Amino acid sequence: MTKLTQIYYSLLAIPLAILGLPLYIYLPTFYAKDIGIDMAIIGITLFLARLFDVFLDPYLGYLSDKSKEIFNSRKPLITIGAILLTISFYLLINPKEEYANLWLFSFSFLVYVAWSMVNIPYLTWSAEISSDYHFKTKLNSVREIGTIIGVLIALLLPFLFSISNNTKEVLDLLFVVFLILFTYFTIVSLLKIKTVITKDSEKFKLSYIKVVYKKLPKIKTLQIGYFFNNLANAIPATLFLLFVEFVIKEPQSSGILLIVYFLAGVLALPIWTIISKRFSKKRVWIYSIILASSSFIFVPFLDENSFIAFLIICIVSGFSLGADLAFPTAIYSDLTQKAEEVKKNCSGLLFGIWAMITKLSLALSVAISFGILGLIEFDKSNPSSESILTLALLYGLAPVILKALAIIFINKYKEDKQ
């Protein structure tokens, strides 16, 4: 497999990340501040939209496998999903204010569904382009480098156009950039990506998933660990803008802090990849979680005079980002290939379950974060000291506890020797 294959595989991750940043960071704030929806209602609405979508992911994984069975390719599902995703994203960031709650729910749901129609086959490719253990690690690494590059583009552009303080203008700009890159890179991916064709694939049945879990019970252990770790990552991502504004009190620096965080992730990922050749992928993933937790444990002690300390925390936790993004899916790709040996043509469904876990953690992060802030009546214009403390504990302490739970389950996972 060539370097060119890695580049082609990484491209689609860039626009998907450009879309992801507004969805998970800017969108809740936009609907709260610009549209005027109550925080608790936003949390409940986004949670319900994601919850309904979450349980569709295994079915979309099944459709991905059916697409491979019928067309010998997962690309038709990606094509349909790409069209739906573009239209839904545009409508989501251009709401009719008189129907704001319904609009947020409906088009969030459609965006999440369309995202999965693209992302599940895309993730599954990492297990089908090659069967080589280390090359799959490289594929997942370059995909996550593409993800971080997309995030950096999404962060830098508002500053270059001097619109970082206007959430609506930021969303409009990111949509245009997303549209251009997503259209081009989707076409390139559909034309250039070649996967291993299995001539002896079995006709898929849902009952196969029970057989896979029975034969490979460690899949469940890995999925639980991934869920807790992803929830630990999603809570501070949801609360980042609020934390910087009300605790650090440097809202104008939020973009710079995010850029530093993701840039640290890009620089550290090649190092994590080298380390993984000496140690197991599981070990490297756990090391990255410990590194992030060791920095975040200090977050609840920060205040408005702690900008430099928070900058250092962003850098240190950013170092763990690349490994935290790339290695879980790399390990899961290895397991998926093992599952294909047990039952053919089930990898799409397994990645559908993986996507379901990802979205469930994201849904819970919004429900927990905005729900608790809504319950304590967090006042965006004049927050009390108790509500700011709650915000700091949610942002800093909750992720550390969840990551500790994640390590317990990840450590139970027995990785095959290569």
CATH number at residue 361: 1.20.1250.20
**Section 138-153 average pLDDT:** 84
Q: For tokens 């949610």, name the residue.
A: 394
As a 3-state breakdown, the chain gives helix, strand, coil percent values, each rounded to 5, of 80, 0, 20
Cα–Cα separations (whole angstroms), residue 95 to 91, 106, 134, 246: 6, 11, 45, 27
Instruction: Report the range out of 83-97, 229-243, 277-291, 326-340 with the highest average pLDDT.
Output: 83-97
Identify the pLDDT of residue 198: 54
Q: What's residue 145's pLDDT?
A: 83
Contact call for residues 381 and 32 (beta carbons, < 8 A): no
Burial letters 232-252, b for 16+ CB under 10 A, else e: bbbbbbbbbbbbbbbbbebee
- Whether 333 shows a pLDDT value over 50: the answer reads yes
Reply yes or no on whether the pLDDT at 154 is more than 80: yes
Per-residue confidence (pLDDT) for residue 58, from 0 to 100 = 80
- Mean pLDDT for 177-196 is 90
Highest mean pLDDT of the ranges 71-75, 183-187, 237-241, 351-355: 183-187
Q: pLDDT at residue 24 above 90?
A: no
Q: Which residue has the higher pLDDT, 340 or 66?
A: 66
Segment 356-362 shows an average pLDDT of 84
For residue 199, name the pLDDT band (cuts at 50, 70, 90): very low
Across 109-131, average pLDDT: 86
pLDDT at 416: 60
Higher pLDDT among residues 390 and 53, named by residue: 390
CA separation for the pair 131, 370 (Å, rounded) = 42
Of the chain, the percentage scoring pLDDT greater than 70 comes to: 92
Q: Where in the sequence is the domain holding 117, given as residue range(s)?
A: 3-412
Half-sphere exposure of 72 (CA within 13 A, CB side): 6
Mean pLDDT, rounded, for 151-169: 84
Under 8 Å between Cβ of 338 and 216: yes
What's the pLDDT score for residue 20?
83
Q: When comparing pLDDT for 172 and 136, which is higher?
A: 172
Angle at 252 between CA 249 and CA 253, to 5 degrees: 85
Token readout for 115 is: 């995202």
- Residue 74: helix, strand or coil by DSSP? coil
Instruction: Count Cα neighbours of 286 within 13 Å in the Cβ-side half-sphere.
Output: 18
Category of 202 on φ-ψ map: left (φ > 0), alpha (ψ -120 to 50) or beta: beta
pLDDT at 252: 82
Cβ contact 272:318 at 8 Å = no
Pairwise CA distance, residues 212 & 336, whole Å: 10
Q: What is the mean pLDDT of the chain?
A: 85
pLDDT band at 315 (very low <50, low <70, confident <90, very high): very high
Percent of the chain with pLDDT over 90: 33
* Residue 197 pLDDT: 54
Residue 30 or residue 232, greater confidence: 232
Average pLDDT over residues 203-210: 62
CA 142 to CA 10: how far, in whole Å? 5
Answer yes or no: is 418 within a domain: no
Let me know if residue 417 belongs to a domain.
no
What is the total count of domains within the chain?
Answer: 1
Q: Which among 279, 301, 78, 347 has a CA at the least distance from the CA of 188?
A: 78
Orientation of helix 100-128 relative to helix 133-160, angle to 10°? 150
